[in-house]
Amino acid sequence: MKPILFLAALLASAAPAPGYHVVARLAAGDGGWDLLSVAPADQRLYVAHGDRVTAFDLRTGTATDTLVAGQRVHAALAIPRTHEVLSTNGETNTALLFDGRTGKVRATIPTGTKPDAAAYDPATRTVWVMNPGSGDITVVDPASAKVLATVPVGGSLEMGEADGRGRMYVNIEDKNEVAVLDTRARKLVKRFPLDGCDGPTGIAVDSRASEIVSACGGNAVAIVSAPDGRQIARLPIGKGADGAAFDPVHGVALVPGGRDGNLTVIRLGAKPQVVGQVATAVSARTIAVDPSTGRAYLPSASLSPAPAGERPKAVPGSFRVLVVAP
């Protein structure tokens, strides 16, 4: 590790853990949900919300319940340095590029099969759409609204995160590994096995400490060295993790557990460790962090008891986005 990165990691590990708690609840209409993102400059939050994208004005807490319609929407990704958002439609194998303030659609972009998560790469200013149905990634130039490449990877691709230096890391759920992609060359360059990590989903990258956090089944996270794939630690988390995020303001990773309503706070660096648990809500399984404030946002709803073998259903009128902050 370079001296500057080592010092940053050492200072992060020595800093006191922030005391997160739920500070607000933002209401919107009923419906399932998946991934979400924040546009810091516009102070808006975008949530993939079943058959639509829901937008929140973070200054007022008010919601536009259907900003853009969709078909099994999985991701709503705010694109930095613009006012635009890209959403993925799992049923139509398309992504929409639209104005996050007005909802006006600029382009419908073809993707691979069953597009799910999407991640922005600052190094190339491109969006990478993970297609678990076809095991590949669609690389989109949001400026031109064109597909630049389709990168074959293989497997059931879950969430991805860029390090800002030309690498994209993507969890492969059915192979228990992380795919490492060169975003400039637009190709797969490495695979990191996640020994003991079954079904990785959410991923967070701390480029300062050169570490990757992958949320695993079995109530754990695997923390991996980004340069060489060496597994640094496995740490316990809450039950039912799906998403993961890095809070650059406070220097910690946040991993939500949707089955027991716990958000795990992890300090990365020379010696990763769990430094806190935050009570959220059962069903709060995905997360986005505002990189300018460190506030975290977790969609949730109250769940009614379910018959044996069935998934619980949301109580009508209970959908809320929890706002978590120190």
pLDDT in tens, 122-176: 999 999 999 999 999 999 999 999 999 999 999 999 999 999 999 999 999 999 9
- State the CATH architecture for 1-24+197-278: Beta Barrel (2.40)
Which residues are bridge partners to 324 per DSSP? 22, 296
Tokens of 85: 């958002």
CA angle 208, 210, 214 (to 5 degrees): 115
Alpha-carbon span 179 to 155, nearest angstrom: 10
Give pLDDT tens digits for 186-202: 999 999 999 999 999 99
Instruction: Determine the topology of domain 31-193 in CATH.
Output: Methylamine Dehydrogenase; Chain H (2.130.10)
Q: Residue 275: exposed, middle, or buried by beta-carbon count in 10 A (0-12, 13-18, 19+)?
A: middle
pLDDT per residue as tens, the chain (326 positions): 443 343 344 334 445 567 899 999 999 999 999 999 999 999 999 999 999 999 999 999 999 999 999 999 999 999 999 999 999 999 999 999 999 999 999 999 999 999 999 999 999 999 999 999 999 999 999 999 999 999 999 999 999 999 999 999 999 999 999 999 999 999 999 999 999 999 999 999 998 889 999 999 889 999 999 999 999 999 999 999 999 999 999 999 999 999 999 999 999 988 999 999 999 999 999 999 999 999 999 999 999 887 777 888 899 999 999 999 98
Alpha-carbon span 69 to 304, nearest angstrom: 27
Q: How many residues does the chain have?
A: 326
Identify the H or E element spanning 11.
helix 3-14
Alpha-carbon span 92 to 69, nearest angstrom: 12
Alpha-carbon span 183 to 181, nearest angstrom: 6
Tokens of 254: 């946040």
Residue ranges matching CATH 2.40.10.500 in the chain: 1-24+197-278
Residue ranges matching CATH 2.130.10.10 in the chain: 31-193
Q: Residue 304: exposed, middle, or buried by beta-carbon count in 10 A (0-12, 13-18, 19+)?
A: exposed
Phi, psi of 7 (to 5 degrees): -65, -40
Which residues are bridge partners to 77 per DSSP? 86
Any residues with CB less than 8 A from the CB of 14 and at least 6 apart, and which?
none
